Amino acid sequence: LSSGGTLTMYDVAVTGCASVGGGSVIEIGTGSTLTATDSIFSGNSSSGAMIIRAFMNGGSANFNRTVFSRNQSAFPIVQSDGARITISNSLIENNQATFGVILSNVNLTNCTLANNTASTILSTASAFNCVFSNNGTIDTGVNVRYSLLQTAYPGGGPGNIVGVPLFVNAGV
pLDDT in tens, the chain (172 residues): 777 789 999 999 999 999 887 778 888 888 889 999 999 999 999 887 888 888 766 788 999 999 999 999 988 888 888 888 999 999 999 999 886 678 888 899 999 999 999 888 888 889 999 999 999 888 888 899 999 998 888 877 899 999 988 877 755 5
Amino acid present at 14: V
Amino acid present at 4: G
Length of the chain: 172
Query: CA of 14: how far to CAs of 34, 117, 142, in Å?
Result: 14, 21, 28
